[in-house]
């Protein structure tokens, strides 16, 4: 199947393997619950790195199944230990993938071709790659050709500048220059975190995401910054393909079934 034209942001664009046979491209944004893993358990999303007292939420597979029962079809699984270099939950991520309750986008500390291959072989629908993909464009070009349509590049953005290593390293790179460099690569999407200092999305952040979606030929996924259905609709109206949801679902601040009914995918 040939790659689609730029600005295709529907479900088929975000998950082409699952929708390729349909030949119809939807335009609806989808919401994706996040499962954050630390030391073999699912914890409350948004807990600061290194926290000694994370809120345990239950067995990760049971949590994944609960989101499937609520009506969601996609899941973002973040291995916090791998992301921080404190360990790995790869086997558990693979168990969640193989359970098959939802299509899984695997994330957290993926820095090698072997890691990508292991997750893809387990059945991950998408694999998120982070700092190395930005800092080593030749590597990104190579692995994107090996796994066409399956890699999502994650980048944190502050005032148009790319930030890596846990919002610490501010690279002299404009996000739009980076997007231009990715043009033509067979990527599965771009995951963008762009939040104000208080963790909430500002009008400037929304404008940035809209500009990114407008200029990017890949589906654009927003990370967090949602507390109301109006926030979801604001992202949808700006051309986003998907949004990751964490604590806002676990806390009940947003009704999971209501979100899934409108944005479950």
- Could you please report the per-residue DSSP string of 49-92? TT-SS--EEE-HHHHHHHHHHHT--EEEEEEHHHHHTS---HHH
State the pLDDT at residue 15. Answer: 40
Q: List strand residue ranges (DSSP E) for 132-219, in order.
A: 151-158, 161-164, 169-174, 189-193
Counting every residue, how long is the chain?
A: 265
Cα–Cα distance, 256 to 65 (Å, whole number): 13
Strand-pairing partners, residue 104, are: 75
Give the closest residue to 45 by CA, choosing from 61, 57, 31: 57
- State the catalytic residue, choosing from 83, 156, 205, 231: 156
CB 223 within 8 A of CB 33: no
State the pLDDT at residue 196. Answer: 58
State the pLDDT at residue 63. Answer: 96
- What are the mean pLDDT values of the chain's consecutive 10-residue runs (265 residues total)? 33 38 50 95 76 80 97 97 92 96 96 97 96 94 97 90 63 87 95 69 84 93 91 94 95 96 93
Active site residue 79: no
Cα–Cα distance, 102 to 79 (Å, whole number): 17
- State the catalytic residue, choosing from 36, 81, 83, 205: 36
Q: What is the pTM of this model?
A: 0.86
CB 214 within 8 A of CB 184: no
Check residue 131 and report its DSSP letter.
H
Cα–Cα distance, 148 to 243 (Å, whole number): 22
State the pLDDT at residue 161. Answer: 85
State the pLDDT at residue 229. Answer: 96
> Alpha helices of 123-164 — where are they, by DSSP H?
131-135, 137-146
State the pLDDT at residue 26. Answer: 35
Active site residue 52: no
**CATH code for 11-263?**
3.20.20.70
């Amino acid at each position: 199947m040939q790659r689609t034209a730029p600005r295709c942001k529907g479900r088929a664009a975000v998950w082409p393997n699952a929708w390729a046979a349909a030949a119809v491209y939807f335009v609806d944004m989808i919401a994706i619950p996040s499962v954050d893993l630390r030391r073999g358990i699912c914890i409350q999303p948004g807990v600061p790195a290194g926290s000694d007292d994370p809120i345990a939420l239950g067995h990760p597979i049971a949590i994944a199944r609960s989101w499937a029962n609520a009506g969601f079809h996609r899941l973002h699984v973040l291995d916090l230990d791998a992301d921080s270099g404190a360990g790995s939950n790869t086997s558990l991520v693979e168990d969640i993938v193989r359970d098959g309750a939802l299509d899984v986008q695997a994330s957290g500390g993926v820095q090698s071709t072997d890691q990508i291959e292991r997750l893809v072989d387990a059945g991950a629908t998408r694999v998120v790659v982070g700092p190395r993909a930005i800092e080593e464009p030749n590597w990104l070009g190579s692995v994107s050709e090996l796994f066409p349509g399956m890699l999502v590049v994650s980048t944190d953005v502050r005032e148009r500048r790319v930030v890596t290593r846990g919002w610490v390293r501010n690279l002299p790179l404009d996000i739009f220059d980076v997007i231009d460099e990715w043009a033509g690569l067979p990527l599965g999407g771009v995951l963008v975190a762009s939040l104000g200092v208080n963790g909430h999305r500002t009008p400037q952040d929304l404008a940035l995401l809209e500009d990114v979606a407008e200029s990017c030929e890949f589906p654009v996924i927003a990370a967090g910054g949602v507390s109301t259905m109006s926030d979801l609709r604001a992202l949808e109206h700006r051309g986003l393909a998907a949004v990751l949801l964490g604590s806002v679902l676990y806390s009940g601040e947003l009704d999971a079934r209501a979100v899934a009914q409108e944005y479950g995918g």
